[in-house]
Each structure stands twice: as structure tokens, then as C-alpha cells.
Amino acid sequence: MNTSTMLRAFCDAVEQRNSKAFAELFTEDGVYHDVFYGAFAGRAKIAGMIDDWFYRTATDFRWDMHDPVSDGETLYARYTFSYRSTLPEAQGARAMFEGVAIMRLRDGKIVEYHEVANTAPAFADLKFAPERIAKIVAKQGAALKARPEMKRHLE
């Protein structure tokens, strides 16, 4: 499967709540590192992430990947991602995120997915209190700092 086809299948599976098709894009030992929810290892956990986490408090997902670049082992793509929140305080608002997807590949499948996203504006869209946004962003910053590959950039 070529890069564009794989990325469209990735986005379509989330938009269509097709957790099985989404998980099949990963190797058996694949890991999805979500910017909010953490790591999901293995196809069963990755599939569960779609139903148990993504769709728990959201609906009407839209995900598009832009300007992909790959050497066959690593794939980078800018993305736009949005959903309609079902959280009471959001009052049905749509949250939109921009980010970069980073995927390690093996034999045409995703071994590891990471993302870097600008999350604070979306939380404002959802009408979260400033204190709640600050707490979420601080937690994400701490998780980023904990990643070994980030150490030299933070010194």
C-alpha cells in the first residue's frame, strides 16, 4: 500500500469508527502514542482506543493528512483533526487540532505512531476553563519531557 493510500485508510477508519480496519494498519506489536491518552500497544488495544477513548466523548470525526514525506521507514505528515464534543460543557462545539504525525514503518505497516499537536486552542473551542486547559497542557508537556529522545532538546 502506498503512503497516500495508507494515510487515507488511517483517517477513514477513524472517521467511520472502523476500529478493526484502523488496527490492521499496524503491525501485531504496533504502538499508537496518543497526545491525550498515552500509549496503546498491540492491535487489540489500538482498536479499543477508537471505541473506548476517541468515541467516548466525541463524534463526527474529520481527519486529513497533508504533505506526507517518507523514506519507507519513517513517515511524517502534517494533519488537521477535528471532532464534535459530547462533553456537557462543550455544548456540541467542534474542536480542531493541527499537528504532525510521525510513523515508523515496517513492511508497509505502522510499527509506532507518535504525534505532536497544538492542543490548547481546541480546548478553548470546547469552552474548558483556563485552569483546566493549563493543567492539561502541563501534563502533556511533562509527558513530552519524559520521552528519552527529547532530552537533548530540553537541556
Q: pLDDT (tens digit, 9 = 90+) per residue, 90-105?
A: 888 888 888 999 999 9
Give the domain CATH number at 95.
3.10.450.50
The answer as to whether 150 is a domain residue is no
Instruction: Give which of 142, 46, 128 is closest to 87, Cα–Cα.
Output: 128
Cα–Cα distances in angstroms (integers) from residue 77 to residues 61, 86, 117, 135, in the given order: 18, 28, 12, 28
CA separation for the pair 45, 54 (Å, rounded): 12
The answer as to whether 113 is a domain residue is yes
The answer as to whether 32 is a domain residue is yes
Residue-level pLDDT at 28: 97
What average pLDDT does this structure show over 3-32?
A: 97
| Structural domain boundaries enclosing 40 | 3-144
Number of domains in the chain: 1
Q: Model confidence over 47-81: pLDDT tens digits?
A: 999 999 999 989 999 999 999 999 999 999 999 99
Q: Which pLDDT band holds residue 147 (cuts at 50, 70, 90)?
A: low
Q: Residues 113, 116, 118, CA angle at the centre, nearest 5°?
A: 145
The answer as to whether 149 is a domain residue is no
The answer as to whether 76 is a domain residue is yes
Q: Burial level of 77, CB count in 10 A (0-12/13-18/19+)?
A: buried
